[in-house]
Amino acid sequence: MASHIVGYPRMGPKRELKFALESFWDGKSSAEDLEKVATDLRASIWKQMSEAGIKYIPSNTFSYYDQVLDTTAMLGAVPDRYSWTGGEIGHSTYFSMARGNATVPAMEMTKWFDTNYHFIVPELSPATKFSYASHKAVSEYKEAKALGVDTVPVLVGPVSYLLLSKAAKGVEKSFSLLSLLDSILPIYKEVVAELKAAGASWIQFDEPTLVKDLAAHELAAFSSAYAELESALSGLNVLIETYFADVPAESYKTLTSLSGVTAYGFDLVRGTKTVELIKSTGIPSGKYLFAGVVDGRNIWADNLAASLSTLQSLESVVGKDKLVVSTSCSLMHTAVDLVNETKLDSEIKSWLAFAAQKVVEVNALGKALAGQKDEAYFAANAAAQASRRSSPRVNNEEVQKAAAALKGSDHRRATPVSARLDAQQKKLNLPVLPTTTIGSFPQTMDLRRVRREYKAKKISEEDYVSAIKEEISKVVKIQEELDIDVLVHGEPERNDMVEYFGEQLSGFAFTANGWVQSYGSRCVKPPIIYGDVSRPNPMTVFWSKMAQSMTPRPMKGMLTGPVTILNWSFVRNDQPRFETCYQIALAIKKEVEDLEAGGIQVIQIDEAALREGLPLRKSEHAFYLDWAVHSFRITNCGVQDTTQIHTHMCYSNFNDIIHSIINMDADVITIENSRSDEKLLSVFREGVTYGAGIGPGVYDIHSPRIPSTEEIADRVNKMLAVLDTNILWVNPDCGLKTRKYTEVKPALTNMVAAAKLIRTQLASTK
């Protein structure tokens, strides 16, 4: 029985690619050095999968930034501002699109479906000229073949590429991105021809937009695209891969009718209804079913017995020789290898499987289907499943009762937001267009070393507290010198906004090397929620009170909200996600109340990932938004009117959930805006009324580029065209931890100068 992996983590088991990228960007290493690291990592990945017995091994899933940007490069769809003159796209143009440069901003970045992975959004127009400008897919196939590994080259499918794109600035609203299909298909044909000439026998097109609610004309685009590609694909086995949700019945019908397609890949973990659809509708005769039964988005060991049962039930539909065992999606969304976790609790470790272990699980299931079941391996898996179900450390009756008692109240603050803002202004006395930052300040090498040494017990707690206090004092002084109105302490004690809280909450476990790519070189290490969640002790009160004692200006208490902690963790899969979220909300509520009691007047509860968790199907939106927004309100429903509650959201499309954002009932929301061409502002132009404080980001912190005072002032004026002066805040898009002080200080200087400039202009017009 054959086995398949949709995709694999790129960063390496110890983030080798991250460090190579950052060294290259900083000018400390050459392009050749970067390529050497990448080549070694790819070789290691292909070898690992080959030795594990995987038949269908992917290539072209490795990327320096993301697979959509790679496709933009392949198609030569470079926006004019990057002054690309044709030919093969090199590092300079590629990374300028991703990160911006000294003269032009980066392209928009947004979340990849409902994951914490990001992609660079293509900017297209009727004038976009396409050309075959990156031969990466072919070169990586040849690279693997030279190592003796015959791979399945993976391309982002042409229709999904267009549906994930956006119209460039200034393009008529009537412009349809799908009208460009005929312009990009010739390049896909060129790529396919080169892959065939190189010896490829399979090709995988990722068309994940098929799981979304698509209109009839969008479904028709799939039919016409693959009909047009059919002759070019002749002689190749063609796999169309979907993931992250159920495929709707109409989309399933379209998919299984596509011309020239040999195989269909489905996520049967998040797409449980698809199993029944396959059974009731069937698969066209002679076609392959790539059954994604091993979860590519979580770290729990697969329930092999249950997966085997599902696979056996599908055998009668497609035939034994046409069923391929696969992962539900790319394994890039999970950690790399459990073997690197030498300090993880042995019981919890027995419940887990990272990417390397999932490859083994896929192969074991394939062998079992073929009558070569490894009884010892399956028995050990069954024992681990039973251990997890019965472990006393998973369940906490007191926490479960407290969460159950939440039913029956919407946990909304009693006073309307307009009255609260008046009470808060009397206490805080802030100027018009108050300035603030989102939370973190640059994480220097010295700061990382201090945390690392304290964790390794190489320095005392006293020395650690002294070092962090010194860093907080530095950050406070910088903000005071810049004349920022509402300060932050810079979060020097935190490596990660979720990991920090998870370390202090019960029910969480942590890895040493469980890194997952978020975008580019940015990696996160999601905590593992294995049991019921509670807060044994205060988590941030000590540092927040210390910071507030250093300044007369308001100091924000900085917390991560329950929905973001949930969405940025590996979450237990033995109870509904909303139940876990309510438990986290109760823990954060205790922290909010302790901060208020400690004299903190402004408390920010970040919900950066609330939009990210929105289900891909509209029919599921209302239920998710109801419990997600409710969870946020639980955290702060008990504070006084004079305590100002902020929240923050970043890098997603918020326009479709703006009413749920209003329903969160925060006093102030800071929200990403600059990198998405101020798309957020359009919602207010279209008549949505927002009465709370709002700070749409005035500059992009994910780019090293420093915006001028005039540029920021222009952005603020655009905001004032649709938002009232008395509710507008001025702030960056996101936290500053990934930037350097040489970038942060001038950018914030210009931001404050822009706010003061417009205050003066507003005062003169009164």
CA distance 562 to 583: 8
Is 503 part of any known ligand binding site?
Answer: no
Residue pLDDT, tens place only, 262-296:
999 999 999 999 999 999 999 999 999 999 999 99
pLDDT-derived band of residue 677, with 50, 70 and 90 as boundaries? low
- pLDDT greater than 90 at residue 622: yes
pLDDT for 396: 93
678: pLDDT strictly greater than 80: no
298 found inside a domain: no
Q: Is the pLDDT of residue 97 over 70?
A: yes
Q: Is 648 marked within a binding site?
A: yes
522 labeled binding residue: yes
DSSP for 353-416, written as a single string = --HHHHHHHHHHHHHHHTT---HHHHHHHHHHHHHHHH-TTT--HHHHHHHHTTTT-----SS-
Tokens found for residue 453? 């040494």
| Residues spanned by the domain of 496 | 413-765
CA pair distance 156, 210, nearest whole angstrom = 12
Determine whether 702 is an active site residue: yes
Where residue 99 falls among pLDDT bands split at 50, 70, 90?
A: very high
pLDDT of residue 681: 75
- Give residue 673's pLDDT: 80
Rounded Cα distance between 514 and 528, Å, is 10
Which residues lie below 8 Å from residue 763, measured CB to CB, with a gap of 6+? none
Tally of structural domains, the chain: 1
pLDDT (0 to 100) of residue 722: 87
pLDDT by residue (tens digit) across 235-250?
A: 999 999 999 999 999 9
CA nearest 327: which of 354, 352, 351?
354
Kindly report, residue by residue over 685-717, the tens digit of the pLDDT. 677 888 899 999 999 887 888 999 999 999 999
Tokens of 12: 């390496």
User: Mean pLDDT in the chain?
Assistant: 95
491 annotated among ligand-binding-site residues: yes
Q: Each residue of 44-60: pLDDT tens digit?
A: 999 999 999 999 999 99
CATH number at residue 717: 3.20.20.210
pLDDT at 460: 96
pTM exceeding 0.85: yes
For residue 315, what are the contacts with CB-CB under 8 A and spacing of at least 6? 323, 369
Residue carrying the six token digits 């992609």? 119
At residue 694, φ and ψ (nearest 5 deg) are -145, 135
CA atoms within 13 A on the CB side of 559: 32
Q: For 520-551, what is each residue's pLDDT tens digit?
A: 999 999 999 999 999 999 999 999 999 999 99
Query: In three state form, how does the secondary structure of 492-516 look?
Result: CCCCCCCHHHHCCCEEEECCCCCCE
CB 728 within 8 A of CB 676: no
User: Is 347 flagged in the annotation as binding?
Assistant: no
Average pLDDT of span 157-178? 96
Q: Is residue 311 part of a domain?
A: no
Measured CA to CA, the distance from residue 605 to residue 652 in angstroms comes to 18
Map tokens 């896929």 to a residue.
362
Please state, in angstroms and as integers, the Cα–Cα distance from residue 43 to each residue in 331, 631, 720, following that order: 17, 45, 53
Query: What are the tokens at 261?
Result: 């397609």
Residue 511 — pLDDT band, cuts 50, 70, 90?
A: very high
- With respect to residue 15, please indicate whether it lies within any of the assigned structural domains: no
Q: Is residue 602 part of a domain?
A: yes
Q: What is the DSSP string of 244-268?
A: SSPPPHHHHHHHTT-TT--EEEEES
Order of strands, sheet of 3-4, starting from the edge strand that comes earlier in the sequence: 3-4, 323-327, 288-294, 263-267, 237-241, 202-206, 151-156, 57-59
The answer to whether residue 462 sits within a structural domain is: yes
What is the distance between the alpha carbons of residues 583 and 631, in angstroms, rounded to a whole number? 9
Residue whose C-alpha is closest to residue 79's, from 155, 169, 173, 176: 169
Query: Which residue has tokens 């069954």?
Result: 382
361 is in an annotated binding site: no
555 DSSP assignment: B
Q: Residue 59: inside a domain, yes or no?
A: no
**Annotated active-site residue in 118, 333, 630, 702:** 702
Question: Residue 675's pLDDT is what?
Answer: 64
pLDDT of residue 676: 62
Q: Which helix (H) or strand (E) holds 680?
A: none
The answer as to whether 623 is a domain residue is yes
Q: What is the DSSP letter of 608?
A: T
Q: Is 581 marked as a binding-site residue?
A: no
Residue 652: per-residue pLDDT = 57
- Binding site annotation covers 345? no
Amino acid residing at 188: Y
Task: Tell me if 4 is assigned to a ligand binding site.
Answer: no
Query: Is residue 474 a part of any domain in this protein?
Result: yes
Burial (CB count <10 Å: 0-12, 13-18, 19+), residue 383: exposed
Q: Which residue has the tokens 């044709």?
A: 86
CB atoms within 10 A of CB 110: 23
Q: Are 374 and 364 in contact (CB under 8 A)?
A: yes
Comparison of pLDDT for 128 and 409, the residue scoring more: 128
